[in-house]
Every structure is written in structure tokens, then in C-alpha cells.
Structure 1
Amino acid sequence: MNKIHVRVADWHKDIADIRRIREAVFVAEQQVPPELEWDADDATAVHFLACEGDYAIGTARLLPDGHIGRVSVLKDWRGLKVGDALMQAAISEAEKRGLKKQQLSAQVHATAFYERLGFKIVSDEFLEAGIPHVDMERGS
């Protein structure tokens, strides 16, 4: 297996890879309606792609307010720390931009993953696209 690396993506140039990953994970696997998956925030977000060689296998985005979201890894690459690498890239980029606090809405089943990265639950459970979520934050 090639080494997995994460890079900042170009929304316009990398949109096909970002769409392929998010549609496989959120729309196909988790049944999120496409109209909820794609929003106006994509145009202003910093996007990240995790790649094995030249093949994109995961993605995430960082909004200008420090909100990290759309963290997704293709099924065959889960359990290989791809999500960790994406999150570290997003956190690092947020801090580089002076965003000392990062937030995210986590699917409840993934909270332990985010807690390992320093996030703490700051809300009660709620439904988003029919999936139980909680809000989480890290930093000051």
C-alpha cells in the first residue's frame, strides 16, 4: 500500500473526487438526500483530500468560522487512520488561520473518534438528515 497523504484540495479542480467520495459515503451508504449533502458553504470552504498515490480516498472541509465537516473516507480505506490524517490537516489549517476553536457536528457513533482528537460534546443529541448527531468543540 502506498503512503496516504492529505492535501488541500481545489474545489473547482478536485470537485469530481470530492463528489465521488461524499456521494459514496453520505448519499449511497448513509442515505443522506443529495440536496442536504451539497450546500453553498462548499464554495467558500477549504477542502482536503486524502490520497493513496493519486487516488482520492477521503475528504473533509473547513468553513471560515472553524467548523469542520463532511469528513468522509471510502469504505475500503476505513480503519487505516485516514480520518485522523484528514482531521489533523483540518485542525492544523484552522489554527494556521487563527481559528483557535474548532467545531463540528458528529454522528453519535463517531464521537469517540473525535474525542481522541481533543473534541468535547457540547450539545444534546439531535437528528440531522435522520442521523443522530451531537455538536462538539475543541480549543479555546
Structure 2
Amino acid sequence: MTPPTPPIARYTVRVAEDPADRQACFAVRRQVFVVEQGVPEDLEYDEYDAHDADTVHVLAVRADDGEPLGAGRLLHGPAAVAKTGADASVGCLGRLAVRKEARGLGIGAALVRAVEGAARARGLSAVDLHAQTHALAFYERLGYAAYGPEFAEAGIPHRAMRRAL
């Protein structure tokens, strides 16, 4: 019998610094998007997942044992322009995922703020994202405003959103 997982009392959010951190981000995303939501694995991971000058991954971990709890990604520069069609002053928040047992603890909001901090540090003026429609209210509470029509990504309804920094 597997011992019960300890409750999540505290967590930390940081920029993914090394391959192990990025793999932890990918594991969270796989659990949330591929396993829970049924997104095909070949759509979940893309050319922007490489650790390069245009991509920043953020990771939330349980403070006591380092267990990965959530992840997110900022695209900036040419990667963001390619993804959003916006100009180079706008970053793109994406792949925000929090494991089911860690939801409701503020981890998603902390990840969004970490992405925004990374965007500010790179001199960006705004952050765009493609929100699953069920998550619109979450992003609105964080200051994002929806624009444009609803569209499908990986068969899931989305809306574009933006927040000025």
C-alpha cells in the first residue's frame, strides 16, 4: 500500500534553471493536459519547449520535498511573435498547469505572476495568452481581458486574453 501524500502546506515558484526542472514542468503538463484533458501528446509538446533565448519555464514545487505541483511557460521575442502574431513587445503565457491535488492553493496565480515577472525583466509591455474558456474567470481576476472570438486548440474551446504590464 502506498503511503498517503502529505498535504501541501507550502510551495515555492521559480524559473526552471536546468534540464531536471524542465522535465518536472513537462511531467506536470503531461499529467494535466495529456492524461486529464486528453490532449494528444504530440500537440502538447512543441518546438518552443526547447530551453533557448525565447522561452522561460516556471515551476512550482512543494516546499518540503520538491514535488512538482505546477508549471507555466513564457515565450518572448520571435517565438512570441510567431505564436501570437503580436509585436515583439508582447510575451505569450502558455502551458499553465497545476496538478489536481494542488488546485485552489494559489499556485496558478503565483505561476502567472512569475511569468509576468519574467516578462517585465525582459522589457515586455504586455502578456497574451490563450485561455481555455472554463478558465476565463481565473485570468480575469488576475487582470487579463478577453478579446476576439472563441476558437479551438487541441479540440478545446479557448479565448485570447491580454494584460498590460
TM exceeds 0.5? yes
Aligned pair count reads 140
* 2:67 maps to 1:55: yes
Counterpart in the other structure of 1:35 = 42
Which deviations, in whole Å up to 9, do the C-alpha atoms of 1:15-63 show, x marking residues without a partner?
3311210110000000000010000111131000011121110000000
Q: CA RMSD in A?
A: 1.2
The normalised TM-score by structure 2 is: 0.81
What stretches of structure 1 of length at least 5 have no aligned partner? Answer: none
Counterpart in the other structure of 1:79 = 104
Q: Percent identity?
A: 46
CA distance in 2, matches of 1:92, 1:14: 18
Larger radius of gyration: 2
Q: Please state whether the residue corresponding to 2:149 is helix, strand or coil.
A: coil
**Partner letter of residue 47 of structure 1?**
H
CA distance in 1, matches of 2:11, 2:110: 9
CA distance in 2, matches of 1:31, 1:72: 14
The normalised TM-score by structure 1 is: 0.95
CA distance change for structure 1 residues 75 and 86 in 2, over 3 Å: closer, same or farther? Answer: same
Q: Please state whether the residue corresponding to 1:57 is helix, strand or coil.
A: strand
**Residue range with higher mean Cα deviation, 71-80 or 90-99:** 90-99
CA distance in 1, matches of 2:159, 2:18: 27
CA distance in 1, matches of 2:120, 2:26: 26
Which deviations, in whole Å up to 9, do the C-alpha atoms of 1:65-101 show, x marking residues without a partner?
3100000000000011100000010011101111111
